[in-house]
Structure 1
Amino acid sequence: MPFNEQDLIGRVYEYFLRIYAAAGTKEDGEFYTPASAVKLISELIEPYSGTVYDPCCGSGGMFVQSMKFVEQHNGNKKEISVLGQEKNPSTWRLCKMNLAVRGISSNLGEKADSTFTNDLHKDKKVDYIMANPPFNLKNWRGKDELKDDPRFQGYGEGVIPPVSNANYAWITHIISKLDVNHGVAGFLLSNGALNADGDEYEIRKSIIEKDLVEAIIVLPRDMFYTTDISVTLWIINMNKKAGNSKNGQLLKDRSQKTLFIDLRNWNSNIEVTNIDKGRKKKKVALTDNQIKKVKSIYDNWRIEGNLYEDIPELCKSATLEDIKNSDYNLAPSQYIEFVDHDLTIDYVSKMNELQKSIGKVLSDERETELKVERAFENLGYIIK
């Protein structure tokens, strides 16, 4: 089948996946990640060649976008292999179909199953991970189940992600899958993971001290069909040392540094999805130009050339010491400079204007009182 026909079928299939996600329940929407969020991830982690893995692959949007990235940057799709797993049988079949209509070969395991309780790609190491795990998943394991699993070890004595929330189970699983020399991951999580306490705090502290967090990017609110909250894109890099990227760029040493970006104000671009019977769903989407701007900030920060600079209310390069001093809190608002716009107000002139307004009101009020008094006096005179 010629590629243009495959692409047309794939686009139609993706369109109906989006309609289904927009019209369905919270659970229906979990398999679909907004296209602009997926594109942002692929632009930042640059999956030019190697194995791309998604431990909760849903309908396969991450894999599709990684192939689009390779095509748009004149790469060779044959140099990319796809590895994934999905728990929901129906979604697993949707993913297989989505990849098949696009001519993308993949290994999704022999069946649908839980990544946590039955890792179908055990002991595999990969070059890239792109993922949008279910936010704040509860009861992802039994009380004592998986407590000795090596994926969740090494983050403090007796420390393991809590049963009540799988956010850090996803993070530690992802880290366990990355090639220790050059693996890079881009994944989405709810903002609560940035400053969670208890065992999650201990795991986050360990990850930070191991110098694995390359970037934290807070996205605008209301991008996802499953929730209207703002979520965070994490970039984990197993090697932040200086060297050459896969596209030949000279990378600077980013050891003990983390880039923070806050995009919560980038919410003016609204994408409308027509569902049925005249119903529409509106969601925020990043534009291609906005994605390019984030990519430019990220590249200027990591590529040799000293082009990067902190921008108030947008981005900040923080050191490990900065993060330690903020008690290992990864919320960008802890580091990015906030501009107090009230400081630009000319308070003297504003106070003068306010005093004039108050004076006029008081003057008008006194004049009204005098009129009333005169009216009563006149009334009293007539009564006499």
Structure 2
Amino acid sequence: MAQNDTAKNGNGGNLGFEADLFKAADKLRGNMEPSDYKHVALGLIFLKYISDAFEAKHKALLAEDAQAAEDKDEYLADNVFWVPKEARWSHLQANAKLPTIGTLIDDAMRAIEKDNESLKGVLPKDYARPALNKVMLGELIDLISGIALNEEGDRSKDILGRVYEYFLGQFAGAEGKRGGEFYTPRSVVRVLVEMLEPYSGRVYDPCCGSGGMFVQSEKFVQEHGGRIGDIAIYGQESNYTTWRLAKMNLAVRGIDSDIRWNNEGSFHKDELRDLKADYILANPPFNISDWGGDRLREDVRWKFGAPPVGNANYAWLQHIYHHLAPNGTAGVVLANGSMSSNQSGEGDIRKAMLEADAVDCMVALPGQLFYSTQIPACLWFLARNKNPGKGLRDRRGHVLFIDARKLGVLVDRTRRELTDEEVQKIADTYHSWRGEDGAGEYADVAGFCKSASMDDIRKHGHVLTPGRYVGTGDLVKDDESFEERMTRLTTDLGEQLVESASLQATMRDQLKLLGFPIAELEQ
């Protein structure tokens, strides 16, 4: 009965239908690995999207001019992909039970790539492989056929976009650490977007994964009355498979973009060398040790000092700062160790960034937010210009610290999410501190936020851990569960151990320079 109601009324009104749909799709997966099934399911959702968008445009053109309805340029001019007859969803749905359905899908993908230059090399084309169960494939087509059924135009696009985004998140969770390589949790992305407010201009991500930063940026623009074309999207990704996911993810949302791929990455082959972005949002991989830094010692991007060859954290920060426009701002996700590390000159780089007033705000995040790691993370917000102007107050010589480690709710035993209210609380605090119109007056809140002067920061040795500045808030509430309390305490302990290791390494380095190296103890 529920299925009949969905087919009759469409499924857009049911905000939880994505979860039900994923459960049904996951049952069809059988013994296939999530990393393989991901491409099967997402490829078909993409095919359904572009076919629906084409059919809607085709119907509108037919009502005006039958000849125009067969003109490919009419579709491309409206950012709609041209879909040949043999690639349309109705054709695949009608043949879903044939043993040759895999070949038909592959042929459809090739035909679409042939007629749409921007999709060349993007779509999956291995549905005919013998190992892929064709009965399962037919059932998956039937399931996806019900998405956005009886919905029209933009409503249909939005529903399919939501499904694609939800499936990406679920597959990332199923893949664990590997999933984190292509997906940043939605609540983390929302913090970045809500704080930076990318209303218009150039938005860039040098390690864009599956494109989640861009999708949330476009959502922000639309939710605040803007248009989808108000921001220009630029990105780079070094993993070819992930780049394909990003291209499809943005296409499903109708987002035009310039996303580049090469296997050398943004450090060694910067595809957008001359780009100066108004907003940069990035979640680079944490603590990369093998990034080829020895070949880039004199690079122009290292304005604050050459990053250590054994850790790319400060290479990412400086690459991003280099690409900021004169009034640009950036939000970067990094491991907590980046806030306090003094190893291999990182402390000197951090000091130089602070003394140059490049850092605007630091946010300590709660643990368990990420699929890929239990390492506690933080957000760095960089600014090219902290002078008064453009509706903002004078922030020179000050940095805002926000300690959000106690926020978030457990969604299962291993993962936490920030609620919409918590995201808004963090963003509102930043906007008030910057002096934005209508944001309210800023005030320090013990245990949560503190506006610190450079003198304060110097006293702390240019360490940027928010907990050092915000102080202690109210005592832990009695209703905090044992599991939540242990999670909080172990997260705090983990941060202290990281800082302890950093201090030990610094002491070893200094003693070695003085000629008194500490001998390594045998295990």
Structure 1 and Structure 2 fold alike (TM over 0.5): yes
Structure 2 residue aligned with 1:106: 257
How many residue pairs match? The answer is: 322
- Offset at residue 229 of structure 1 (A): 2.9
Paired residue secondary structure (1:184)? strand
Structure 2 residue aligned with 1:183: 328
- Residue 313 of structure 2: which of 143, 157, 167 is its match? 167
Compared with structure 1, are the counterparts of its residues 18 and 252 closer, same or farther at alpha carbon in structure 2 (3 Å cutoff)? same
How far apart, CA to CA, are the structure 2 residues paired with 1:28 and 1:297? 31
Structure 1 residue aligned with 2:223: 72
Paired residue secondary structure (1:150)? coil
How far apart, CA to CA, are the structure 2 residues paired with 1:160 and 1:290? 37
- Offset at residue 104 of structure 1 (A): 0.5
- Offset at residue 76 of structure 1 (A): 2.0
Amino acid paired to 1:186: G
How far apart, CA to CA, are the structure 2 residues paired with 1:282 and 1:102? 30
Structure 1 residue aligned with 2:415: 283
Indicate if the aligned counterparts of 2:364 and 2:402 stay in contact, CA closer than 8 A: yes
- Offset at residue 28 of structure 1 (A): 2.9
Indicate if the aligned counterparts of 2:243 and 2:261 stay in contact, CA closer than 8 A: no
Amino acid paired to 1:26: K
How far apart, CA to CA, are the structure 1 residues paired with 2:251 and 2:400? 37
Between Structure 1 and Structure 2, which shows a larger proportion of helix residues?
A: 2
The reply on whether 1:295 has 2:427 as its aligned counterpart is yes
The reply on whether 1:84 has 2:235 as its aligned counterpart is yes
Amino acid paired to 1:255: R
Paired residue secondary structure (2:332)? strand
Amino acid paired to 1:253: D
**TM-score, with structure 1 as normaliser:** 0.81
- Residue 452 of structure 2: which of 318, 331, 344 is its match? 318
The correspondence of residues 1-384 of structure 1 with structure 2, limited to 5 A, is 1=53, 2-109=153-260, 111-143=262-294, 145-152=295-302, 154-155=303-304, 159-179=305-325, 181-197=326-342, 198-244=344-390, 250-267=391-408, 269-272=409-412, 282-303=414-435, 307-339=441-473, 341=475
Indicate if the aligned counterparts of 2:447 and 2:472 stay in contact, CA closer than 8 A: yes
Compared with structure 1, are the counterparts of its residues 235 and 63 closer, same or farther at alpha carbon in structure 2 (3 Å cutoff)? same
Paired residue secondary structure (2:210)? coil
Paired residue secondary structure (2:199)? coil
Paired residue secondary structure (1:108)? strand
- Offset at residue 330 of structure 1 (A): 0.5
Indicate if the aligned counterparts of 2:262 and 2:269 stay in contact, CA closer than 8 A: no
Compared with structure 1, are the counterparts of its residues 110 and 296 closer, same or farther at alpha carbon in structure 2 (3 Å cutoff)? closer
Amino acid paired to 1:251: L
Gaps of 5+ in 2: 1-52, 54-152, 477-523
How far apart, CA to CA, are the structure 1 residues paired with 2:352 and 2:249? 38
Q: Which moved more, 1:105-114 or 1:329-338?
A: 105-114
How far apart, CA to CA, are the structure 1 residues paired with 2:373 and 2:182? 13
Paired residue secondary structure (1:151)? coil
Question: How many percent identity over aligned positions?
Answer: 46
- Offset at residue 341 of structure 1 (A): 4.9
Compared with structure 1, are the counterparts of its residues 78 and 270 closer, same or farther at alpha carbon in structure 2 (3 Å cutoff)? same
Q: Which has the larger radius of gyration?
A: 1
How far apart, CA to CA, are the structure 2 residues paired with 1:189 and 1:260? 15
Amino acid paired to 1:325: K
1:12-41 deviations in Å (ceiling 9; x for gaps) = 111111111111141332210010111111
Paired residue secondary structure (1:160)? coil
1:105-148 deviations in Å (ceiling 9; x for gaps) = 111125454111111111211110001000111111153x0112
Structure 2 residue aligned with 1:278: none
Gaps of 5+ in 1: 245-249, 273-280, 343-384
Amino acid paired to 1:214: D
- Offset at residue 270 of structure 1 (A): 2.4
Indicate if the aligned counterparts of 1:138 and 1:165 stay in contact, CA closer than 8 A: yes
Compared with structure 1, are the counterparts of its residues 110 and 32 closer, same or farther at alpha carbon in structure 2 (3 Å cutoff)? closer
- Offset at residue 282 of structure 1 (A): 4.4
- Offset at residue 283 of structure 1 (A): 1.6
Paired residue secondary structure (1:20)? helix
Paired residue secondary structure (1:296)? helix
How far apart, CA to CA, are the structure 2 residues paired with 1:234 and 1:196? 14
Compute the RMSD of aligned alpha carbons: 1.7
Paired residue secondary structure (1:67)? helix
How far apart, CA to CA, are the structure 2 residues paired with 1:142 and 1:186? 23
- Offset at residue 230 of structure 1 (A): 2.1
Paired residue secondary structure (2:424)? helix
Amino acid paired to 2:451: S
